[in-house]
Structure 1
Amino acid sequence: MALGYSHFRHQALFAYNSAMHDYFKRYKRYGDYALRRVFNDLLRQETSKLKVPCIYIPSSASHLNQRGFDPVVGLFQEVFKLFPALIKMETTQGQSEKNRQERLATPQFFQFNSHYQVLLEEPQLLLVDDIYTTGRTIFHAQDCLRQAGFRGQFQSLSLAR
């Protein structure tokens, strides 16, 4: 069940086009980890006024083991202090392998990391992800944090949409 998404604002820095597809293919699929820094200056410039705790959308353990790095952490770790407040449970199929309807129907796949209970008392949180497609992942993250007790406002940021 989705909880209310009022007072939610998402910002994507780029449109997800063929060039961005090629970038993510090289970065995520082929593991070109040096590409994580390509957008650092722009990310710093665009987010310099954001002073809220930043929770990143994590990879599942199997994707982390397969790639050897978390792509979202790679993109944002030099721009924000990232909090690992979410744990992604294993799923049978990745979001990128699903069509729009399948993505929207995906059941909750996050758990709250209770070591970060203090974040639930913040007035606002920023959720960061690499690509925003349907919003299902960000909305699952919000639902998980709401269920854990967060009552503040959300913003989200992705590199591409």
Structure 2
Amino acid sequence: MNIKTLYHESYKRGRKKAKMWQWYDNLFLGALIIIFLISLIINDWNVAFLSIVLTLIILLNYWKMILIKIAENNCKKENYDNAHKYTNYILKKDKNNLSAIIKEAEIYKKQEKFQEALNTCNKGLKVNPNNLEILTLKVKILNEMKDYAKSLNICEIILNINPYNPKIEEIKNLIKSKT
């Protein structure tokens, strides 16, 4: 195992841990809001001010993630226009936001607008050509479009970046069985 693969595996483990602890952020925000409300009731204006400022700081730091989550929820409800509205808002502010680009491509894929999804993936790959999530999504989109040759080529690219990727190996074998 080379250093690059070790780094990628370590990064993935860190991201999984971060996703597991997102409930903590919500709990902290809830506690700050409760502290704010209690301090309003007991007329402690200093604590109320500090708690609302901390809440706003946290929300400002996570606004992109919150909007992506809202877009995801709209997508689950098949309200695609609203989902696109939220991702487009992020992309207007930050055109290189990979999370928003990925979510936008996923929404297009769910809508079965495969060419738009593919174009969005390509836009994301211009930002980061080695992003495994975008490359994997592109493989799935090309597979839906029945472009198996390009899909297999991208599988090889992914395996060159991350040699141990059982999910891609499985997709690759599935595509080979179709051809």
With normalisation by structure 2, the TM-score equals 0.28
More strand by share: 1
Structure with bigger gyration radius: 2
With normalisation by structure 1, the TM-score equals 0.30
